[in-house]
Amino acid sequence: MKIPYPGAIDCDLHPAMPSVAALMPYLDEYWRDQLANRHIDRYPFVLTSYPPGAPLSARPDWRQPSGAPGGDLDMIRRQALDPFGSSLAICNVLHGAVALFNADMAAALCAALNDWVATELLDREPRLRASIVVPVHDPGLAVDEIERKAADRRFVQVLMLAMGEMLLGRRLYWPIYAAAERHELAIGVHAGSTYHHAPTAAGWPAHRVEDYVAQSTAFESQLLSFLAEGVFQKFPALKLVLIESGFSWLPTLLWRTGKTWRGVRPEVPWIDRPPAEIVRERVRLTLQPVDTPRHDPQILARTLAHIGSDRMLLFSTDYPHWQFDGEDVLPEGLSAATVRRLMIDNPLETYPRLRPAAVAGDTVGDAARQEAVR
Amino acid sequence: MTREVVAKASEVAPGTSKVVTVKGREIGLFNLDGDYFALANRCPHAGGPLCQGRIVALVQSDEPGHYRLARPGEFLRCPWHGWEFDIRTGQSWCDPNSTRARAFKVSVEPGATLVKGPYVAETFAVSVEEDYLVIELAG
Amino acid sequence: MNVPLRQASPALGLTIVDCDIHPAYRSPKDLHPFLPARWREHMAMFGEHLRQGLSGQLAWPRMMASGMRLDAFPNEGPPGSDLALMRRQHLDANGVECGMLMQLSKGGMEERNLDFAAALSRAVNDWQVEAWVKPEPRLRAGIVVPQEDADFAVEEIERRAGDPAFVQILISPRSSDPLGHRRYWPIYEAAQRCRRPIALHVQGFSGGHASTGSGWPTYYLQEHYATTTGMQTTVMNLVFEGVFERFPGLNVVLIEGGFTWAPALGWRMDKHWRRMRAEVPHLKRPPSEYLREHCWFTTQPIEEPDDPKHLAEVIEWIGWDRVMFSTDYPHWDFDHPQQAFKFPLTEEQKRKVFRDNAKALYGLP
């Protein structure tokens, strides 16, 4: 189903990462020296999770003859923003720096990347917003980067990968959440792995397609980690967004966690209400990939009923990843009210920093609201 | 409603429980600092023998990593799935609105008064001057 | 052999097959009659060698009485070690016509010393028959084998294949490689040949990897859930490696790993397979079809959605013929046959879930 009216907020857009050469002006002299002398600047920092040639990584009509998909701002406008009438889009740049073990190098590249995003994307296209990319495995350096970029309110989120060093709810990471909460930034956990662990409890599967399908189990584990460790109690204003996660797995997690909690509550006594209530209030998931069958809208409807909330899904294209064809970005069978919620209301509720732009003098957003009322 | 004599008060010391069978139903008797309570020995979750569970305090927390015990001896943990029930009310801690163990009204009555009524139990013959626990059962 | 019909569970109106019962050793010496002297000495001197930091206990301590029902402790020995109590409290009380033994402990599945693992496996299989199946004909055993030593595993499977006391083959889903890896294929070939399903019961001990793809959980609340994510990734791997394409007669039972995730996993696998199928040309059909045709699920611990009808919807998606009742007696998160389903089942659904699906799968009378 096509987007019915303009004004959507795309919560997962992937401009291509810049080359190291493009990042050089944003690095200090030590890193410029090191990257050049050690030939590190000849490497593309591609994440294993998204091999450039794989069908999932880019839709054929979104590839260009030269340059990476999502690497051209005009193409992003023409292919990702305009066709869907998006009023805003959050850029989640996936960069391999986060998989480096040297956290200092990772931090330097992340900082350069964030500065590049601000200059090359946000300054040039007013509809764009972004996530702050940080070296999660060194929480101190991650906090430094959050503090450095937080004043630019076009950054709305802190970005992490679903499979990293440790489960993300752990207290080691709490300084990151404290900083994010302080600055009204959401925490965005995106599909992908640094592969610092085997992706499954039984080791390393042979195929990429399986690693990708298995991401849902990583999201389950991460969500449960945030919940069990009490992140939602410790940081009462923090919102967690699961990005490119799918959502068909969510009912099982809600049901099982609730059941087990009733029996093991004294282990985690800071969880003071049913886990499903906490999740519905504090956790969001982006729309793509829609992992219920497209041919059967009834299954989607029942899955949403099992999830028990219409506030959790956030519109996304996941451009240029290949999750749908043509302009068929919405699954069939959603009610008009649900469509309105996921296109506009849910993203605004989730990302406090989106709100000023959407409220003041934003004619695109206004048109969307009028259209919806009609 | 019938009133059934179920045990001598002295058989249920403070902090302990005793399961008795009354008219074919198993009922757990509890003594919280001299106040007596009775719950059906059947967990409303999945039918487990609730009153054979441990009597515990309520674990509470103000923030992750901090733990404290409150209301010692006032909660029962079902011996199967560990659900916590308030002994005084039968309410499930995690699901107070819709899960509740069946509770029975308990009173302590001196044997001398009871022997006069229509309900005479065999234990009366032993010593009528002791206190007895009497519960109210429907039907 | 004829299994005498015991008293049916009153509310159910039928005798049941329980697909997950845990026997236990009264003491580790229970295995001694079945272990050669050299391994008895080894056990005493060195003990088991497992992949965790604590010896003889779990690194995520359980919340209830070592993970057991508090009312299942016999006078001597741990829960599950006393056949008389098991009969009284469970087999007789709950109308169990047939029960599948799941012996998880000291069978060698997670033992790092493969020679010791082989000796343990053989001993545990002997013990199951002598201590449980012979005295109690309602029980059936599983051939416990160390999956990391495929050669020995095949040998042991073939040794037991002629004994009807054994109805399935137990390996650990927390293996050192994902179970679809071709080094485990000889085990599947043997299973297919002797027409027994592979039984994957969730395991507490690691095969060498963290229980999630992103590290180790902190709390038991999480570790308990990791059994379901682990089961999902195991199934995914069996499908994507083409195990079911290669062994079309192989059946797999997923025990205690949940089941409501199965439809979602099927949809997810299909969606991404359609996009990436060039990577896995050995799959001739959509992944969900292999899942649907080759996998069975035991019910315990059953989910308890706020609206019980939601669970019925999910089972409808899975198929009422694929779900088999289990209690997990004597563990704490035991499901009682009369209480497990909080919505009414039709007579046909009841017969299938509580009895006939298991009878068909295991070839029981």
| C28 falls within a domain | yes
Domain count, chain C: 1
The residues facing B108 across adjacent strands are: B133
| pLDDT tens, position by position, B12-60 | 999 999 999 988 999 999 999 999 999 999 999 999 999 999 999 999 9
Of B52, B53, B82, the CB nearest to C63: B82
Q: How far apart are the CA of A165 and the nearest CA of chain C, in angstroms?
A: 6
We report the CATH number of the domain holding residue C134 as 3.20.20.140
Break chain A into its structural domains and give their ranges.
9-373
User: What are the chain C neighbours of B79 within 8 Å (beta carbons)?
Assistant: 64-65, 69-71
pLDDT beyond 90 at C338: yes
End-to-end, the C-alpha distance of chain A in Å comes to 19
Question: Cα–Cα distance between A287 and A281 in angstroms, integer?
Answer: 17
> With an 8 Å Cβ cutoff, is A261 touching chain B?
yes
Using the Cα atoms of residue B103, residue B108, residue B111 and residue B117 in order, give the sign of their dihedral: negative
| pLDDT tens, position by position, C215-237 | 999 999 999 999 999 999 999 99
Pick the closest to residue C167 from C179, C157, C180, C175 (CA basis). C157
Look at residue A359 in the predicted model and tell me its pLDDT: 44
| C230 falls within a domain | yes
By residue range, what is the domain housing residue C129?
16-362
Look at residue A169 in the predicted model and tell me its pLDDT: 98
Q: Is the peptide bond before C173 cis (omega within 30 degrees of 0)?
A: no
Residue of B61, B91, B93 to mutate, testing the A interface (most A Cβ within 10 Å of its Cβ): B61
> With an 8 Å Cβ cutoff, is C340 touching chain B?
yes
Q: How far apart are the CA of B93 and the nearest CA of chain C, in angstroms?
A: 16
| C2 falls within a domain | no
Question: Cα–Cα distance between A13 and A70 in angstroms, integer?
Answer: 9
Smallest CA–CA distance from B81 into chain A, residue = A263
Look at residue B5 in the predicted model and tell me its pLDDT: 87
Look at residue A362 in the predicted model and tell me its pLDDT: 44
The residues facing C96 across adjacent strands are: C16
| Mean pLDDT of all residues in C294-315 | 97
**Three-state secondary-structure class, residue B78:** coil
Q: Do C214 and A217 touch (CB under 8 A)?
A: no
Of A229, A262, A269, the CB nearest to B61: A269
| Mean pLDDT of all residues in A320-329 | 97
**Average pLDDT, whole number, for chain C?**
94
Question: Cα–Cα distance between A100 and A90 in angstroms, integer?
Answer: 25
Q: Do A264 and B82 touch (CB under 8 A)?
A: yes
Look at residue C5 in the predicted model and tell me its pLDDT: 32
Tokens at C8, concatenated = 């049916």
pLDDT beyond 60 at B110: yes
Residue of C299, C328, C332, C341 to mutate, testing the B interface (most B Cβ within 10 Å of its Cβ): C332
Phi-psi category of A30—alpha, beta or left, where left has phi over 0 and alpha has psi -120 to 50? alpha
Overall fold of domain A9-373? TIM Barrel (3.20.20)
Smallest CA–CA distance from A268 into chain B, residue = B64
pLDDT beyond 70 at A360: no
Residue C144's pLDDT band (boundaries 50, 70, 90)? very high
End-to-end, the C-alpha distance of chain B in Å comes to 5
Q: How far apart are the CA of A173 and the nearest CA of chain B, in angstroms?
A: 14
The residues facing B91 across adjacent strands are: B100
Q: Do A229 and C175 touch (CB under 8 A)?
A: no
Pick the closest to residue C230 from A63, A217, A46 (CA basis). A217
Tokens at B38, concatenated = 């009775």
User: What are the chain A neighbours of B54 within 8 Å (beta carbons)?
Assistant: none
Q: Do B46 and C333 touch (CB under 8 A)?
A: no
Question: Cα–Cα distance between A260 and A228 in angstroms, integer?
Answer: 11
Residue B136's pLDDT band (boundaries 50, 70, 90)? confident
Q: Do B46 and C70 touch (CB under 8 A)?
A: no
Low-confidence winner among A291-300, B97-106, C14-23 (lowest mean pLDDT): B97-106
> With an 8 Å Cβ cutoff, is A264 touching chain B?
yes
Look at residue B139 in the predicted model and tell me its pLDDT: 60
Residue of C216, C229, C265, C316 to mutate, testing the A interface (most A Cβ within 10 Å of its Cβ): C229
pLDDT beyond 50 at B120: no
Look at residue B108 in the predicted model and tell me its pLDDT: 87
pLDDT beyond 70 at A367: no
| Mean pLDDT of all residues in C130-142 | 98
Q: Give φ, ψ of C16 to 5 degrees.
A: -120, 160
| Mean pLDDT of all residues in B75-79 | 95
Query: Do B55 and B61 meet the contact criterion of CB atoms below 8 Å apart?
Result: no
Q: How far apart are the CA of A279 and the nearest CA of chain B, in angstroms?
A: 16
Low-confidence winner among A11-20, A166-175, C50-59, C150-159 (lowest mean pLDDT): C50-59
Question: Cα–Cα distance between C312 and C135 in angstroms, integer?
Answer: 38
User: Cα separations (Å) of A290 from A6, A322, C55?
Assistant: 21, 11, 45
| Mean pLDDT of all residues in C172-199 | 98
User: What are the chain C neighbours of A162 within 8 Å (beta carbons)?
Assistant: 213-214
User: What are the chain B neighbours of C333 within 8 Å (beta carbons)?
Assistant: 80-81
Question: Cα–Cα distance between B114 and B124 in angstroms, integer?
Answer: 9
Of B62, B64, B95, the CB nearest to A262: B95
Tokens at A166, concatenated = 């440790």
Residue B129's pLDDT band (boundaries 50, 70, 90)? low
Smallest CA–CA distance from B62 into chain A, residue = A270
User: What are the chain A neighbours of B61 within 8 Å (beta carbons)?
Assistant: 269-270, 272
User: What are the chain C neighbours of B19 within 8 Å (beta carbons)?
Assistant: none
Residue B124's pLDDT band (boundaries 50, 70, 90)? very low
Question: Cα–Cα distance between A250 and A283 in angstroms, integer?
Answer: 11
Query: Do C331 and C256 meet the contact criterion of CB atoms below 8 Å apart?
Result: no
Of A198, A217, A303, the CB nearest to C209: A198
Q: To 10 degrees, what angle do helices A297-307 and C308-318 make?
A: 140
What are the percentages of helix, strand and coil residues in chain A, rounded to 5?
Answer: 50, 10, 40
The residues facing C18 across adjacent strands are: C99
User: What are the chain B neighbours of C338 within 8 Å (beta carbons)?
Assistant: 47
End-to-end, the C-alpha distance of chain C in Å comes to 9
The residues facing A91 across adjacent strands are: A13, A130
Q: Do C258 and A218 touch (CB under 8 A)?
A: no
CB count within 10 Å of CB C2 equals 6
User: What are the chain C neighbours of B80 within 8 Å (beta carbons)?
Assistant: 64, 69-71, 332-334
Q: Do A216 and C268 touch (CB under 8 A)?
A: yes
* Residues ≥6 apart with Cβ < 8 Å to C348: C320
> With an 8 Å Cβ cutoff, is C221 touching chain B?
no
Look at residue B121 in the predicted model and tell me its pLDDT: 43
Strand order in the sheet with A186-193: A9-13, A88-91, A128-133, A155-163, A186-193, A240-243, A283-286, A313-314
Q: How far apart are the CA of B62 and the nearest CA of chain A, in angstroms?
A: 6
Of A231, A233, A269, the CB nearest to B67: A269
**HEC sequence for chain C:** CCCCCCCCCCCCCCCEEEEEECCCCCCHHHHHHHCCHHHHHHHHHHCCCCCCCCCCCCCCCCCCHHHECHHHCCCCCCCCCCHHHHHHHHHHCCCEEEEEECCCCCCCCCCCCHHHHHHHHHHHHHHHHHHHHCCCCCEEEEEECCCCCHHHHHHHHHHHCCCCCEEEEEECCCCCCCCCCHHHHHHHHHHHHCCCCEEEECCCCCCCCCCECCECCCCHHHHHHHHHHHHHHHHHHHHHCCHHHHCCCCCEEEECCCCCCHHHHHHHHHHHHHHHHHHCCCCCCCHHHHHHHHEEEECCCCCCCCCHHHHHHHHHHHCCCCEECCCCECECCCCCCCCCCCCCCCHHHHHHHHHHHHHHHHCCC
The residues facing B20 across adjacent strands are: B27
> With an 8 Å Cβ cutoff, is C273 touching chain A?
yes
Q: Do C313 and A209 touch (CB under 8 A)?
A: no
Question: Cα–Cα distance between A56 and A212 in angstroms, integer?
Answer: 10
Question: Cα–Cα distance between C205 and C275 in angstroms, integer?
Answer: 35
> With an 8 Å Cβ cutoff, is C347 touching chain A?
no
Of A230, A231, A269, the CB nearest to B60: A269
User: What are the chain A neighbours of B59 within 8 Å (beta carbons)?
Assistant: 265-266, 269
- What percentage of chain C exceeds 90 in pLDDT? 92
Question: Cα–Cα distance between A93 and A130 in angstroms, integer?
Answer: 8
Smallest CA–CA distance from C335 into chain B, residue = B46
Q: Do B47 and C336 touch (CB under 8 A)?
A: yes
User: Cα separations (Å) of A11 from A8, A85, A301, A332?
Assistant: 9, 13, 22, 20
Of B45, B64, B94, the CB nearest to A234: B64
Q: How far apart are the CA of C305 and the nearest CA of chain A, in angstroms?
A: 5
pLDDT beyond 90 at B1: no
Q: Do A222 and C177 touch (CB under 8 A)?
A: no
CB count within 10 Å of CB A325 equals 11
Query: Do A258 and A275 meet the contact criterion of CB atoms below 8 Å apart?
Result: yes
| Mean pLDDT of all residues in C2-28 | 74
User: What are the chain B neighbours of C69 within 8 Å (beta carbons)?
Assistant: 48, 79-80
| Mean pLDDT of all residues in C78-102 | 97
Residue A365's pLDDT band (boundaries 50, 70, 90)? very low
Look at residue C65 in the predicted model and tell me its pLDDT: 86
Of B45, B46, B79, the CB nearest to C71: B79
Of A203, A210, A299, the CB nearest to C208: A203
Question: Cα–Cα distance between C5 and C28 in angstroms, integer?
Answer: 33
- Window C:215-254, CB contacts with A under 8 Å: 215-222, 224-226, 228-230, 232-234, 236-237, 240-241
Q: To 10 degrees, what angle do helices A29-37 and A103-116 make?
A: 110
pLDDT beyond 90 at A122: yes
Q: How far apart are the CA of B128 and the nearest CA of chain C, in angstroms?
A: 35
Segment holding A286, helix H or strand E: strand A283-286
Question: For domain B2-59+67-110+132-137, is the CATH number 2.40.50.100?
Answer: no
Detail the DSSP E strand segments found in chain B. Answer: 2-8, 17-22, 25-32, 35-40, 54-60, 68-77, 84-86, 103-104, 106-110, 131-137
Q: Do C221 and A268 touch (CB under 8 A)?
A: yes
User: Cα separations (Å) of A347 from A156, A311, B39, C243?
Assistant: 11, 9, 49, 42
> With an 8 Å Cβ cutoff, is C329 touching chain B?
no
* Residues ≥6 apart with Cβ < 8 Å to C30: C127, C131
Look at residue C35 in the predicted model and tell me its pLDDT: 97
**Average pLDDT, whole number, for chain A?**
94
